[in-house]
C-alpha cells in the first residue's frame, strides 16, 4: 500500500478570508517537541465538510514519520520497494524540490511493519535523520546532498532496536543528541558539523525506548528528558551527566 500524505494543515481558513501563515515546525511535535504551536487566528470550529484540502502527494512509499516544515519547505521520509529510505522536500504548494536516498530502512523481513521511523530534524541548512537501523544521517537542506552517515551501533557498541529506532534527534547548539542505547552510551551528543562524539552517558547503559528527547529548563538548569527501555531520565545537555 503506497503512502499518501495530505497537507490540509497548511490551509488556514478564517472568517475574514485573510491568509494566515503558520510558523516553522522543524522537529516532531513542534519547535520545542511539546505539541505547542504559535499560530493564531484559527477557527474554533471546522466549516461544513471540513477544511479545504490544499494539496496532496502520492508515491512516498512506506513510512510512519511526521512531516516537518522549515524555511518554506516540507520534509518527509518514505521507503521504496527495495527497502531504501528517501527524504523528500516539497514547497508549501506541494511542488517537488528534491528527493535523496539516505540508506536502508526496516523492510518486510523485520519484526515490525516496514517503513521509515524517524522524523527529520531541521537546523538551519542541515537536516538530521535517525534511520531505523541506527544510522545518523546528515543532509544538506538546499539540494538534499548527504553529507555524513554515521553508524551509531558500531560506534557505541549498541544493539539493533527490535522494532527499529524511532527517534527525532535533538539539536542543541552545536550538538546533535540521540539515543544509540549502547553500553555507557544510552544517550550521546555528536558535533553537528563533524559528527565527532562530544559526550556519552557513562554509567547509563539502557537501550533506546523509541522516544524523542526534549530539552527543558527547570529554574536555572537545562535538562534533556527522554524515556529509555526501563526509565525516564534527565541528562545534563552540556556534559552528558546523568542527573536522575
In this predicted structure, the answer to whether residue 46 has a pLDDT above a threshold of 80 is yes
pLDDT tens for residues 203-231? 999 999 999 999 999 999 999 999 999 99
What is the 8-class DSSP label of residue 152?
Answer: H
- Tell me if the pTM is above 0.75: yes
Segments making up each domain of the chain, as ranges: 4-168
Better pLDDT: 39 or 205: 205
Q: Supply 181's cell numbers.
A: 542505547
3-class DSSP state of 109: coil
Cell numbers representing residue 200 in the block: 556519552
Taking only the tens place, the pLDDT of each residue in 119-151 is 999 999 999 999 999 999 999 999 999 999 999
pLDDT, tens digit, 9 for 90 and up, residues 11-30: 333 233 333 346 799 999 88
**E-strand stretches of 61-181:** 68-70, 73-79, 84-91, 96-104, 121-123, 126-130, 135-140, 146-151, 170-172, 175-178
- CATH class label, 4-168: mainly beta
Q: For residue 242, what are the β-bridge partners?
A: 235
Is the model more confident about 177 or about 43? 177
Amino acid at each position: 500500500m503506497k503512502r499518501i500524505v495530505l497537507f490540509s494543515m497548511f490551509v488556514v481558513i478564517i472568517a475574514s478570508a485573510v491568509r494566515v501563515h503558520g510558523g516553522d515546525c522543524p522537529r516532531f511535535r513542534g519547535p520545542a517537541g511539546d505539541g505547542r504551536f504559535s499560530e493564531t487566528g484559527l477557527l474554533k470550529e471546522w466549516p461544513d465538510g471540513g477544511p479545504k484540502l490544499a494539496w496532496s502527494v502520492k508515491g512516498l512509499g512506506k513510512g510512519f514519520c511526521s512531516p516537518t516544515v522549515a524555511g518554506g519547505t516540507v520534509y518527509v521520509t518514505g521507503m521504496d520497494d527495495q527497502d531504501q529510505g528517501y527524504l523528500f522536500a516539497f514547497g508549501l504548494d506541494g511542488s517537488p524540490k528534491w528527493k535523496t536516498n539516505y540508506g536502508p530502512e526496516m523492510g518486510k523481513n523485520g519484526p515490525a511493519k516496514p517503513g521509515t521511523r524517524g522524523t527529520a530534524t531541521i537546523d538551519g541548512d542541515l537536516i538530521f535523520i535517525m534511520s531505523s537501523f541506527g544510522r545518523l544521517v546528515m543532509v544538506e537542506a538546499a539540494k538534499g546532498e548527504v553529507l555524513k552517515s554515521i553508524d551509531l551501533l558500531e560506534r557505541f557498541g549498541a544493539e539493533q532496536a527490535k522494532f527499529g529506532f524511532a527517534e527525532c534527534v535533538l539539536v542543541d547548539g552545536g550538538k546533535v543528541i540521540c539515543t544509540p542505547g549502547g553500553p555507557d552510551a544510552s544517550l550521546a551528543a555528536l558535533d553537528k558539523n563533524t559528527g565527532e562524539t562530544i559526550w556519552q552517558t557513562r554509567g547509563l547503559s539502557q537501550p533506546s525506548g523509541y522516544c524523542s528527547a526534549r530539552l527543558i529548563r527547570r529554574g536555572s538548569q537545562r535538562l534533556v528528558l527522554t524515556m529509555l527501555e526501563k526509565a525516564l531520565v534527565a541528562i545534563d545537555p552540556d556534559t552528558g551527566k546523568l542527573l536522575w
